[in-house]
Amino acid sequence: MSAPGDGVTNGHTNAQLFARSCEVIPGGVNSSIRAFKAVGGTPYLVARAEGPYVWDVEGTRYIDLVQSYGAIILGHAHPDITAAISSAAALGTSYGAPTPGEMLLAEQIRERVPSCERVRLMNSGTEATSTAVRLSRGFTGRDRLVIFHGNFHGATDALLAAGGSGVATLGLPGTAGVPASAVANTLVVPYNEVPRLDDQVAAVFVEPVAANMGVVAPAPGFLAGLRAECDRVGALLVFDEVITGFRLQRGGAQAKYLVRADITTFGKVIGGGLPIGAVGGRRDVMETLTPLGKVFHAGTLAGNPLATAAGRAVLHHLSDDAYATLARRATRLAGLLGDACSAAGLSASFPVVGTLVGMYFGDGPNPTNFEQAKTTDERVYAAFFHAMLREGVALAPGAYEALFVGLGHTDDVLDAIGVAASAAALATVATLAA
């Protein structure tokens, strides 16, 4: 079988092709984290993937714990997903008209996450969070947003605000290109502390389990406290479940913590590796979207038939049993990595929340907020990352990413990760001592 790019990759190294990419794509990547800037070195270019593995253009195989940053949960190129996409593609790839397939996926989302009385499909997690921003402001008639330091909501201007040092900060852009006016109404507060709100707040956006600063569980009472505080002032509670949705358990974080969000954003798992995003929520809130209401939303490819076919095929496999398996594997993975590091004398912890595994390179207890999470030793992580890669295991090239265990990571594969981690932890200690 020939894949696009085959003619190009033959006989070329990662370094050669990456250099060529850099001549046409800024930094050689289409999403910044992929550039290895945080860990140094040259990224491998993926030629193909199957189950728990990716192969680079040089033919080197890695056990993959990136899994498209959580978009893949059944393993790469799962035959049922591939078949669903192929059959859908043969019927046309986009129409600009409603389809039964998008209806079915929206029904399945609502069935799993009952707070999503209505669901609107779109193309990415970023589109979902930016729609949720507009929707919450349009519904409440208020402008103020509250977000948590260290949570990530995609490349949405109003949510790209810089956080301060453990105190509330208002209105500092988190990146060049975001005008101060875009975040003038965005308040950044510490994770795991319920902020006191006032009646200017349209919405509180939260990752119900933080999975972009390592993996940080919500403290007992944190999410319920947010729910109560939002209710007190008439603000909307927005759960960003782009990672936790359909990964943590059948009903996502709201099922695990028994707190109902007004609006929920989804992405990643729900597209089976194809571009997708979704916003779900209370009927009265969701019906504020056009064409019923006054808050504009549109998308040429929204509800795409390939993405919705893939999503339905993924959900078909995600039974309670599947989540129990994933949770067991997550715990086992964390145990193997933790044992390997402690045997080598490397201070690290691998916190587990359900099916999610995080990493923290340091002595302290597991972080509970970003101030603590950022004390992770990025130099140690960079050494460990490269040592793991040499042992044939691909982690994300950044110290704050989660490790994504999927149904493709069978016990044999986990054993192999354990063996690799033992060697990599020793190599890391040696590298750091040199």
Ligand X SMILES: *Cc1c(COP(=O)(O)O)cnc(C)c1O
Residue 207 in the binding site for ligand X (CB under 6 A)? yes
62 beta partners: 54
Contacts with ligand X by CB under 6 A: the residue count is 14
Residue 254 in the binding site for ligand X (CB under 6 A)? no
Residue 131 in the binding site for ligand X (CB under 6 A)? no
Residue 126 in the binding site for ligand X (CB under 6 A)? yes
Strands 186-189, 144-148: pairing is parallel
Measure the CA–CA gap between 326 and 115, rounded to whole angstroms. 24
Q: What is the DSSP letter of 349?
A: B
Residue 404 in the binding site for ligand X (CB under 6 A)? no
Q: Tell the smallest beta-carbon distance from residue 124 to ligand X (Å).
A: 4
Residue 280 in the binding site for ligand X (CB under 6 A)? no
In the three-class reduction of DSSP (H, G, I as helix; E, B as strand; rest coil), residue 47 is classed as strand
Residue 157 in the binding site for ligand X (CB under 6 A)? no
Residue 129 in the binding site for ligand X (CB under 6 A)? yes
Name the amino acid, one letter, at 139: F
Residue 102 in the binding site for ligand X (CB under 6 A)? no
Candidate list 154, 280, 303, 367; residue touching ligand X; CB under 6 A: 154
- Please, which residue, 333 or 396, has the CB nearer to ligand X? 396
Q: Tell the smallest beta-carbon distance from residue 342 to ligand X (Å).
A: 29
Name the amino acid, one letter, at 169: T
Q: Tell the smallest beta-carbon distance from residue 212 to ligand X (Å).
A: 6
- Please, which residue, 51 or 150, has the CB nearer to ligand X? 150
Alpha-carbon torsion (138, 142, 143, 147), positive or negative: negative
Residue 242 in the binding site for ligand X (CB under 6 A)? yes
Residue 391 in the binding site for ligand X (CB under 6 A)? no
Residue 212 in the binding site for ligand X (CB under 6 A)? yes
> Binding string to ligand X for residues 49 to 88, with x set by CB under 6 A, is what?
----------------------------------------
Phi-psi group of 207: left, alpha or beta (phi > 0 → left; psi -120 to 50 → alpha; rest → beta): beta
- Please, which residue, 9 or 129, has the CB nearer to ligand X? 129
User: Three-state SS string across 97-152, please?
Assistant: CCCHHHHHHHHHHHHHCCCCCEEEEECCHHHHHHHHHHHHHHHHCCCEEEEECCCC
Candidate list 267, 281, 338, 408; residue touching ligand X; CB under 6 A: 267
Residue 401 in the binding site for ligand X (CB under 6 A)? no
Q: Which residue is nearest to ligand X (CB)?
A: 125
Q: Tell the smallest beta-carbon distance from residue 31 to ligand X (Å).
A: 7
Residue 238 in the binding site for ligand X (CB under 6 A)? no
Burial of 23 (0-12, 13-18, 19+ CB in 10 A): exposed
Candidate list 14, 99, 108, 124; residue touching ligand X; CB under 6 A: 124
Measure the CA–CA gap between 339 and 350, rounded to whole angstroms. 10
- Please, which residue, 153 or 312, has the CB nearer to ligand X? 153
Residue 400 in the binding site for ligand X (CB under 6 A)? no
- Please, which residue, 278 or 425, has the CB nearer to ligand X? 278
Strands 169-170, 186-189: pairing is antiparallel
**Which pairs count as long-range contacts for 159-165, CB under 8 Å and 24+ apart, including other chains?**
159/129, 159/130, 159/133, 159/186, 159/205, 161/186, 161/188, 162/188, 163/188, 163/370, 164/188, 165/371
Candidate list 76, 134, 137, 153; residue touching ligand X; CB under 6 A: 153
- Please, which residue, 257 or 424, has the CB nearer to ligand X? 257
> Stretches 165-173, 237-245, 294-302, 367-375: which one binds ligand X (CB under 6 A)?
237-245
**Which pairs count as long-range contacts for 2-11, CB under 8 Å and 24+ apart, including other chains?**
3/47, 3/48, 5/47, 9/45, 9/47, 9/57
Q: Where are the beta strands (DSSP E) in 247-344?
A: 263-266, 277-281
* 43: nearest Cα among 74, 24, 21, 65: 21
Binding stretches for ligand X (CB under 6 A): 124-126, 129, 152-154, 207, 212, 240, 242-243, 267, 277
